[in-house]
Structures are given as structure tokens and as C-alpha cells.
């Protein structure tokens, strides 16, 4: 074991040593929310990515990427964010800047592209994403957007998402700033008193529909989805909601804070992943509205009871095969990791590694509090570190995204995709079952018996 | 088609640095390194991983705002040092991005400084390529990288050796293996650049390899000046290529021919190998060819007159147009996102005197334009990468997946297109796609066809 720890340590670049911690071993003083280290092969993307993931699911808006083709093409229809209506978000629009645009400026092209695309698609709003190059050549995005917006009569919103201006978190902020310009621009007279906005759910595989159904059963109305299955008009009147529910660590928190400051709308942090967090989120909402609707708490309790009575026996069945298996978690936002930790406890599985791309100091303190001693906590990890940690901890199953999957598979571990590209709904009580089932299907596959890390015994050959 | 679009919708191309990263992945012991912001490397990793289903590490200088103002040199150097510490690479392939090209970082100078400053650390080979995303496509990035590798690594005259340099365009890992087998048949030793047949399609492992085994050995690239000949593959090549460069500098005979897709292009390839080796086509290749022709005859009526739209990289499209026309499919539209790449004359070369229809060629187009034109042409079949799926679905016609990326099917790295065996597999897939559609559409549901 000592040797394995030594090997892991050797994999960590000196500059990154402060971004790795082991629960219970010394004071937690994790360096985080810093720029990624050059040459470290971070799993993080950029500011543009942060903005793009947050705004992407707004289905009736035009999403125009102002820059060379790469930024648009790598983000074309890659997420499982579903829409119940228009699907404009699934197309990839770019100004496709060329060398002469870089020299002479891209404003004219941007304006022409906006006019062309707005005429063609008649969107309810347009988001114009700035990329690295635009930040350098100094195009006046604000002015172009204002001009086109006035001419076309729709909001045309610049998103200041130049890739190099920080990490993904900056991108979340830029996205919130863009959405903020929509909030408060439509009438709210018909919004009922028991009403919320859902922030930070992206309707992957239809998850927001599941959550909305719970609220419907509780008698709570949803004004705006921010942004899963999102609509421009809903966001414009989202200031009419009485409460904001904020999921996902960083993505939409800035918007919730702005709405609190400007409109006095309180927010609570919620999570729809896992049993406790899902139930707790519903109870928090019920508690908030109980003065106005004294029966809401009872209705909510009934909902949770009925869902759990169906779920728990099914989970117990799966747990039998999973008990004691060791799990590694590496995700984008740390908040998701909290919920996953609890979810794995229900399956009897032991989390031995947990990390995130964009966790904050508070996030990591919370992780240290809820993880078992010796658990590796890591910020902004890279493939070499992750592979060494996997080896050291004897991990059986990895939870992560596209970039982590081949590392796990190469070494012969089970894998659960918990990224924005997944097609399986993992939220809510039903999602907890889907999650458990996916983990079970992977972890119990016979293929692990044939991978090199397991000893192979050839089938016996008998003499006939 | 007089309308001229300003914007691009659903591009039919990728950006230049992606081509560079893929090409560098095919060099033994190499780590691709993008000099730019962190996002470029991560996005491309995700894109490439989703196709090959393998770990794809691409380092980045992870530039931030202050570097955009003061220059990215310090981060580039620190980044290379960090890659050296953790990957012990034999080569770091530095590709620029739009960010670093625009702020004016002089990468060759920075690398020269690096070699001087850290000479005591015995730095790896450092190869640089200029790949601003606002110029060209991933195909240009690929070619410029291959050219940079030969230019910067092969600088001295080597002893004459028996090898043959091969410069393919983007193809699958299986295709690279087909190349090797083809050469073996003639007793020739190819040096294929790049060769990611192992690095992007490796075995399951007990120990993680920081840099996957395989790739073109650096020593072999350095010895390219002594090769018997070079094969510069592709009908849409620019004047400056690795093969042309080696011919100019070292007098290595450079043969230009199309990627060996379909019967005639494969014949040309075998003819060249036969000429270089002085050996006749081996018997079992004659058999392979014979079986292919036999299959073309057996299957011709299923596909004859089917209308196909092909799209993707220019040389892939030229190769597909050639092959599809051979089997009696009417290629009604051949499209690529690359501009002014010579696809029009390449398609003419391979289809005239053979095709029943004149193939319309469109260059510099996106899927919006392809779809608009194809909507009028009413194709029965799409042939190209995954990103055409939404149109195949809309028109309820089959998409035969070839090229990069294949993000919605399994086994992209094993799709064979080259040589007689590749043509055979492609033909089987196309015929079966047509039969599958016919069967699904039929009210009878015949169990034999």
C-alpha cells in the first residue's frame, strides 16, 4: 500500500501537490478555483465552455458562436438536454471567422450572420458567444447586438465568454449575466403564489420533467426552467416566482443572487440526485410554502413515501451484488459529488476517491466532512493522477464523463457516465433506480474477469 | 445556387489544431501540445476520444488573460517542462491556436530558447506547426503537421534503406493496418506517417501507459531521406507536402496517387508497390481482388442507380466518389467543408468515363447547404461521418458511416475502407444498408432478398 501511495505521489506535479488531500490526514488546505497548470493535461475546458453548457438548453434561442469554426463544431448537439418543443439549440451556428476577419475585424460578419440566422429561424432571442479571438481583435459585441436587437425586435445578448479569461466558472458567470438581461422583461400578473424557478438543471434525458412532475403533485408551479427545456419567455418572467431552487454548484448561483438582490426572491440549494437529497429538496420547498398551503408538507411526505416504497426494495436487490465495491468519482462540479457519495452509501459501495474540476474551498471542506478517512480528494485532476489513484485504491467502478471513461476502461474498471452527454435520467427517485441499475450493469459484467488486472484461468480442456 | 451564406450552420469541417493533434498522436513517444487556452485541448480530446474510445492526452499551455497580453512564452515553457516530468516524451508536438497566432507568439523562437535554457535536462524533440483555427480545416492541420515532422526531424541525408515513406490522409486504425499488410505482401517496409494504429486502438492494460505504445519511430522519420520512395496519398494534395519536400531536399522519388479506395485506386497502389519492389502481385492478393470483383457483380443490382450524397474530408470524398461510381451508384453530390481544395478536379478524374451522372461537387460548404442541395437531389443514401445522421433521419434514408468522427456507432477505429479488403467491407456494408432499408420499408417483409 505504501508503495502504491508513493507511486501516486510521484505522479503529482509539485505545483499541484496542494490540490490533493486525503481525508483525515492533516489540515485540509486545498488550493482550488485557480488557473489550470500548463502541461498538466487538465480535464477542464474554458470560459466559453462554461457559458455554452449553461445556456445551451434554451431551446427557442439562437446560439451563435462568434469565432473560428472549432468552438462551434465541438459543441454541436453533444448534450442530452431535451426540449419538449423547439430544438433550435441542437444546431450549431458560427460566424466561422477567417484570417481576413481577424485582421479587419469581425463585426460586419457578425451583424450579417445575425440578420441571416434570425430571419431564417425566427428565434425568441439570440445569444452571441465571444471566443478567444474576439476578445483579442476587439469586436464591439455589445454595439452589434444592440443594433440587431433593435432592428429585429428580439433580445440579442452578448455572452462575454472569451476562452482564456479564466476557467469554466467565469463562463457560468458570463452566462448568468446574459440571462440577467432577460429577467424582468415580461409581465408576471398571472403567476400563482406557489411558484418556483428551477435553476441549474439541464433536462438531461428528461430529468427536469421528472422533477416538475413532483412539484406538480405537491401543487407547486414552475415559472422558468433555467435552463433545461428552457424558453426565453419563461426566463423573462422568472422574477415572478416566489422561490429559486438552485442545483449544480456554480452554474446558476450568480443569477439566483442577482434575483435576490434585485427582486428579493430567496433561493435554496437543492439536488435532485440520490434519495436524501431529492426528498430533502422537496421538503425544503414544502416548508417554504407551508404558511400559504398548510397541507403541502403532508402531500410532500405522501409523495416521498409512495416513491420510496417502490424504490427501496428494488435498490436492496441491486445492493446485494454491489456491497463493498470501491468507487472513484470525478465530476465537473463538486455539488454533484455530494449527492453521489450519499447515493453510493445506499448501494453499500465505498467511495475512495472524489474530485471535481471546479470545486470551491467550501465544497472541499464539505467533502472532507462526509468522506471516510483516507479518501483522496482532488481538484482539477488529470489522466495520470486519476490512473495512479485508481491503482492505489483498487477501484472497481468510476463515475465521470467522456474524458474519464477511457482511463477506466483501459484499466478494466466499471464505469457510470454522469456527464452532460448521458442519455439516461439519473435525477429523482426514478433516476436513483436508473443510476443503481447502470452501476450494477457495469460492475457485474463478466468482462472484468478477462481484463489484465485479473488473473486469467483458461477453461479446462478435457480428453474425449 | 447563387445564394451566398454569411454564417455557418452545422459545419462539415473541424479546426486545424485537431488535425495536428491527431497527426502527432501517430508518432512514437509523442505528446501533442496545444499552445493556447485550456479549452481547445479539452474539447478536442473529448471529440477524438468519442471516436476512438481510447485515452487521448493532449497537453495545453493553458493560457490566461495575462498571457494574452504579455505573451504565452513562459506558459509554453513551463508546460513542456511539466509534460517532460510526467510523460517523459520522446517528442512534444506543439501546435499553435488562433489565440497564440493572434497575439503573435513566435513558437519556433520560444522552442529554440527552451532548448538552450534547458539543455541540461536533455529535452525531447520539439516539433512545431502553425495551426490557427481561422485558416483551413483539420485536413490542413494534419498535412502541415506531417510536413513539419519531416522538415524538422529529417534534416540529414541517411544511408539508403529499403523503406518506403507513406503519407496517408486521415483514416481509421484498421486502414493503417491494411497499409502495413499491403506492404508486407511485397516484402517492403513502410514508414507510415502518422501511424496511430496502436496508439489510438490499443489493448486492455494492467498498468496505465502515460503515452500509449506504438506510432512512427522518430528514428524512422529521421531516416526518411534514405527511403526508396515516398507515396504521397490523396488527389487533393497541395504542392507542399512531406513527399514533395523529401524529393526536393533528398531526391527521394515521390509518387502521387489517390488513397487506395475502391478497385481502381487500389489497383494503382498495388501497381506502385509492385514497381517499387520488383515483385508481381502476390497470389492471395490476386485472389482478394478477384473476390472483390466477384462481389461487385453479385451485388451490383442492389445498388445500381442508387443516388448517393458523400461528404467529409476532400480526399475521403474523392476516394468514396471513385468507389461508389465503380459499383454503379450515382454520386449526385460530393461535398466538403474545405475551400479551394481541388475536389472538383479530383472527382472528375475518378468518375469521368464511368459514371452515369455528372457528380456535382461543392467545396467550402456546411451541412445547411449540403442539406438544401440534397433536398432537391433526393438521394437514396448518405455516405460520410456521424454528423450527417440528422439529415439521414429526416429523409429516412440510410447513412453508411465512414470517416471521422463516428460518434454514434461502435468500432469506428476498425472501419476498413482501403485496399481490396476495405473495398469489400465497404461494399458489403453499403449493399446491406440498402437491403435493410428495402426490407424495413416492405409491407411483405421477405426473409430472403
pLDDT digits (tens, 9 = 90+) for A258-271: 999 999 999 999 99
Mean pLDDT of chain A: 94
Task: Check CB contact of B43 with chain A, cutoff 8 Å.
Answer: yes
How far apart (Å, rounded) are the C-alpha atoms in residues B138 and B156? 29
Position B154 in a domain: no
Give A55→chain B minimum CA distance, Å: 17
Last residue of a domain, one of B111, B145, B179: B145
Q: Do A42 and B97 touch (CB under 8 A)?
A: no
Indicate whether B287 and B433 sit together in one domain.
Answer: yes
Residue of A nearest to B138 (CA): A70
The count of other CB atoms within 10 Å of the CB of residue A233 is 15
CA–CA–CA angle B281, B286, B287 (5° rounding): 150
Q: Which regions of chain B are under pLDDT 50?
A: 1-2
Task: Check CB contact of B82 with chain A, cutoff 8 Å.
Answer: yes
Residues A415-455 pLDDT 10s = 999 888 888 999 999 999 999 999 999 999 999 999 998 87
Indicate whether B171 and B302 sit together in one domain.
Answer: no
Best A164, A392, A422 residue to mutate vs chain B (most B CBs within 10 Å): A164
Which stretches of B304-387 are DSSP H helices?
314-326, 343-351, 367-377
pLDDT bin (cut points 50, 70, 90) of residue A79 is: confident
Position B449 in a domain: no
Indicate whether B399 and B287 sit together in one domain.
Answer: yes
Indicate whether B241 and B270 sit together in one domain.
Answer: yes
Give B405→chain A minimum CA distance, Å: 11
Which positions 227-246 of B are in contact with A (Cβ < 8 Å)?
none
Q: Do B62 and A166 touch (CB under 8 A)?
A: no
pLDDT at A332 over 60: yes
Task: Check CB contact of B389 with chain A, cutoff 8 Å.
Answer: no
Position B7 in a domain: no
Q: Do B87 and A43 touch (CB under 8 A)?
A: no
Q: What is the pLDDT at residue B267? A: 98
Position B198 in a domain: yes
Q: Which residues constitute the domain of residue B321?
A: 283-440
pLDDT at A463 over 90: no
- Using a CB-CB cut-off of 8 Å, the residues of chain B touching A71 are 39, 43
The pTM (predicted TM-score) of the whole model is 0.96
Position B390 in a domain: yes
Last residue of a domain, one of B93, B114, B145: B145
Q: What is the pLDDT at residue B2? A: 42
B62 → closest Cβ in A38, A67, A101: A38
Nearest to B316 by CA among B291, B341, B299: B341
Residues B390-417 pLDDT 10s = 999 999 999 999 999 999 999 999 999 9
Last residue of a domain, one of B145, B178, B208: B145
B11 → closest Cβ in A94, A132, A384: A94
pLDDT at A456 over 80: no
A113 → closest Cβ in B7, B36, B99: B7
Best A33, A35, A37, A39 residue to mutate vs chain B (most B CBs within 10 Å): A39
Instruction: Please answer whether residues B266 and B423 qualify as being in contact, where contact means their C-beta atoms are separated by less than 8 angstroms.
Output: yes
Q: Do B55 and A407 touch (CB under 8 A)?
A: yes
pLDDT bin (cut points 50, 70, 90) of residue A2 is: low
Indicate whether B114 and B259 sit together in one domain.
Answer: no
Which positions 114-173 of A are in contact with B (Cβ < 8 Å)?
116-117, 132-133, 135-137, 163-167
Q: Are strands A93-94 and A61-66 parallel, antiparallel or unpaired?
A: parallel
Indicate whether B367 and B394 sit together in one domain.
Answer: yes
Query: Hey, is A306 helix, strand or coil?
Result: helix
A130 membership: H or E segment, kind and range: strand A125-130
Residue with cell string 445506499? A346
Report how many domains make up chain B.
3
Position B248 in a domain: yes
Position B394 in a domain: yes
Position B153 in a domain: no
Task: Check CB contact of A181 with chain B, cutoff 8 Å.
Answer: no
Residues A67-76 pLDDT 10s = 999 999 999 9
Q: What is the pLDDT at residue B249? A: 98
How far apart (Å, rounded) are the C-alpha atoms in residues B336 and B236? 12
Structural domains in chain A, CATH included, are 2-31+323-423 (3.40.50.1980), 47-180 (3.40.50.1980), 195-308 (3.40.50.1980)
Indicate whether B210 and B91 sit together in one domain.
Answer: no
Indicate whether B95 and B76 sit together in one domain.
Answer: yes
CA–CA–CA angle A109, B131, A332 (5° rounding): 85
- Using a CB-CB cut-off of 8 Å, the residues of chain A touching B135 are 98-99
pLDDT at A49 over 70: yes
Task: Check CB contact of B36 with chain A, cutoff 8 Å.
Answer: yes
pLDDT bin (cut points 50, 70, 90) of residue A392 is: very high
Domain of B121: which CATH number?
3.40.50.1980
Indicate whether B214 and B270 sit together in one domain.
Answer: yes
Query: Hey, is A210 helix, strand or coil?
Result: helix
Indicate whether B269 and B287 sit together in one domain.
Answer: no
Q: What is the pLDDT at residue B1? A: 42
Size (chain B), residues: 449
Indicate whether B300 and B266 sit together in one domain.
Answer: no
The β-bridge partners of B360 are B333
CA–CA–CA angle A167, A172, A178 (5° rounding): 130
Residues A103-157 pLDDT 10s = 999 999 999 999 999 999 999 999 999 999 998 999 999 999 999 999 999 999 9
Indicate whether B138 and B195 sit together in one domain.
Answer: no
How far apart (Å, rounded) are the C-alpha atoms in residues B199 and B29? 10
Amino acid at each position: 500500500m505504501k508503495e502504491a501511495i508513493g507511486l501516486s505521489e510521484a505522479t503529482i506535479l509539485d505545483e499541484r501537490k496542494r490540490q490533493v488531500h486525503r481525508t483525515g490526514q492533516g489540515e485540509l488546505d486545498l488550493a482550488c478555483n485557480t488557473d489550470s497548470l500548463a502541461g498538466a493535461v487538465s480535464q477542464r475546458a474554458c470560459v466559453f465552455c462554461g457559458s455554452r453548457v449553461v445556456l445551451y438548453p434554451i431551446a427557442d434561442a439562437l446560439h451563435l458562436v462568434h469565432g473560428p469554426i472549432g468552438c462551434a463544431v465541438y459543441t454541436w448537439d453533444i448534450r442530452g438536454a431535451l426540449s419538449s418543443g423547439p430544438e433550435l439549440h441542437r444546431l450549431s451556428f458560427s460566424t466561422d471567422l477567417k484570417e481576413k476577419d481577424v485582421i479587419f475585424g469581425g463585426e460586419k460578419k457578425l451583424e450579417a450572420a445575425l440578420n441571416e440566422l434570425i430571419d431564417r429561424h425566427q428565434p425568441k432571442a439570440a445569444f452571441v458567444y465571444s471566443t478567444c479571438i474576439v476578445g483579442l481583435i476587439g469586436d464591439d459585441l455589445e454595439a452589434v447586438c444592440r443594433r440587431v436587437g433593435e432592428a429585429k425586435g428580439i433580445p440579442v445578448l452578448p455572452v462575454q465568454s472569451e476562452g482564456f479569461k479564466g476557467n469554466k466558472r467565469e463562463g457560468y458567470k458570463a452566462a448568468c449575466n446574459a440571462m440577467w438581461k432577460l429577467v424582468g422583461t415580461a409581465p408576471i400578473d398571472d403567476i400563482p403564489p406557489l411558484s418556483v424557478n428551477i435553476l441549474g438543471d439541464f433536462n438531461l434525458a428528461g430529468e427536469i420533467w421528472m422533477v416538475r412532475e413532483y412539484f406538480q403533485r405537491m401543487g407547486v408551479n414552475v415559472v422558468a426552467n433555467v435552463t433545461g427545456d428552457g424558453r426565453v419567455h419563461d426566463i423573462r418572467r422568472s422574477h415572478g416566482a416566489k422561490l429559486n431552487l438552485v442545483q449544480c454548484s456554480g452554474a446558476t448561483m450568480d443569477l439566483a443572487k442577482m434575483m435576490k438582490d434585485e427582486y428579493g426572491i430567496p433561493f435554496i440549494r437543492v439536488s435532485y440526485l440520490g434519495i436524501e437529497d431529492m426528498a430533502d429538496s422537496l421538503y425544503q420547498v414544502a416548508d417554504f410554502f407551508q404558511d400559504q398551503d398548510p397541507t403541502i408538507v403532508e402531500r410532500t411526505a405522501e409523495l416521498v413515501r409512495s416513491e420510496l416504497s417502490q424504490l427501496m426494495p428494488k435498490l436492496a436487490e441491486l445492493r446485494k451484488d454491489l456491497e463493498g465495491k470501491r468507487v472513484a468519482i470525478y465530476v465537473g462540479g463538486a455539488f454533484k459529488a455530494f449527492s453521489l457519495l450519499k447515493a453510493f452509501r445506499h448501494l453499500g459501495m465505498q467511495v475512495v476517491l472524489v474530485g471535481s474540476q471546479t470545486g470551491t474551498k467550501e465544497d472541499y471542506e464539505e467533502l472532507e466532512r462526509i468522506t471516510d478517512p483516507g479518501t483522496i480528494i482532488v481538484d482539477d485532476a488529470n489522466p495520470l493522477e486519476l490512473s495512479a489513484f485508481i491503482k492505489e485504491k483498487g477501484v472497481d467502478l468510476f463515475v465521470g464523463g467522456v474524458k474519464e471513461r477511457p482511463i477506466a476502461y483501459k484499466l478494466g474498471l466499471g464505469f457510470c457516465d454522469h456527464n452532460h452527454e448521458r442519455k439516461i435520467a439519473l435525477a429523482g427517485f426514478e433516476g436513483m433506480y436508473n443510476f443503481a441499475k447502470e452501476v450494477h450493469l457495469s460492475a457485474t459484467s463478466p468482462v472484468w474477469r478477462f481484463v489484465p488486472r485479473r488473473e486469467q484461468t483458461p477453461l479446462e480442456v478435457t480428453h474425449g | 445556387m447563387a445564394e451566398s451564406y454569411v454564417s455557418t450552420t452545422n459545419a462539415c469541417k473541424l479546426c486545424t489544431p485537431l488535425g495536428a493533434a491527431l497527426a502527432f498522436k501517430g508518432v512514437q513517444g509523442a505528446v501533442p501540445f496545444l499552445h493556447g487556452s485550456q479549452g481547445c485541448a479539452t474539447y478536442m480530446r473529448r471529440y477524438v476520444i468519442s471516436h476512438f474510445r481510447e485515452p487521448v492526452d493532449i497537453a495545453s499551455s493553458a493560457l490566461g488573460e495575462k498571457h494574452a497580453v504579455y505573451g504565452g512564452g513562459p506558459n509554453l515553457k513551463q508546460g513542456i517542462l511539466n509534460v517532460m516530468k510526467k510523460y517523459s516524451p520522446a517528442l512534444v508536438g506543439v501546435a499553435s491556436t488562433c489565440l497564440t497566432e493572434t497575439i503573435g507568439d513566435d513558437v519556433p523562437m520560444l522552442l529554440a530558447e527552451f532548448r538552450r535554457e534547458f539543455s541540461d535536462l536533455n529535452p525531447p524533440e520539439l516539433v512545431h506547426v502553425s495551426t490557427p483555427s481561422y485558416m483551413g480545416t483539420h485536413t490542413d492541420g494534419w498535412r502541415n503537421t506531417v510536413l513539419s515532422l519531416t522538415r524538422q526531424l529529417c534534416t540529414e541525408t541517411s544511408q539508403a534503406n529499403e523503406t518506403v515513406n507513406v503519407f496517408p490522409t486521415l483514416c481509421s486504425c484498421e486502414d493503417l493496418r491494411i497499409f502495413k499488410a499491403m506492404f508486407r505482401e511485397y516484402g517492403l517496409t513502410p514508414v507510415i506517417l502518422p501511424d496511430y494504429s496502436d496508439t489510438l486502438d490499443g489493448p486492455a492494460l494492467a498498468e496505465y501507459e502515460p503515452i500509449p505504445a506504438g506510432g512512427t519511430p522518430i528514428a524512422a522519420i529521421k531516416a526518411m531521406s534514405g527511403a526508396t520512395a515516398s507515396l504521397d496519398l490523396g488527389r487533393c494534395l497541395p504542392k507542399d507536402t512531406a513527399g514533395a519536400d523529401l524529393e526536393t531536399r533528398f531526391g527521394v522519388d515521390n509518387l502521387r496517387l489517390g488513397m487506395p479506395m475502391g478497385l481502381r485506386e487500389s489497383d494503382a497502389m498495388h501497381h506502385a508497390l509492385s514497381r517499387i519492389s520488383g515483385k508481381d502481385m502476390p497470389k492471395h492478393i490476386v485472389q482478394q481482388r478477384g473476390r472483390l470483383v466477384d462481389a461487385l457483380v453479385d451485388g451490383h443490382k442492389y445498388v445500381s442507380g442508387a443516388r448517393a450524397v458523400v461528404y467529409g474530408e476532400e480526399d475521403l470524398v474523392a476516394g468514396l466518389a471513385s468507389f461508389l461510381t465503380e459499383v454503379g451508384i450515382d454520386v449526385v453530390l460530393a461535398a466538403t467543408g474545405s475551400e479551394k481544395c481541388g475536389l472538383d478536379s479530383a472527382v472528375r478524374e475518378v468518375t469521368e468515363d464511368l459514371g452515369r451522372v455528372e457528380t456535382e461537387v461543392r467545396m467550402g460548404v456546411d451541412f445547411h447547404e449540403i442539406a438544401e442541395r440534397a433536398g432537391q437531389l433526393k438521394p437514396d443514401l448518405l455516405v460520410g461521418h456521424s454528423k450527417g445522421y440528422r439529415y439521414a433521419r429526416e429523409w429516412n434514408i440510410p447513412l453508411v458511416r465512414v470517416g471521422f468522427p463516428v460518434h454514434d456507432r461502435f468500432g469506428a477505429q476498425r472501419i476498413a475502407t482501403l485496399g481490396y479488403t476495405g473495398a469489400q467491407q465497404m461494399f458489403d456494408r453499403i449493399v446491406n444498408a440498402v437491403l435493410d432499408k428495402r426490407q424495413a420499408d416492405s409491407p411483405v417483409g421477405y426473409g430472403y432478398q
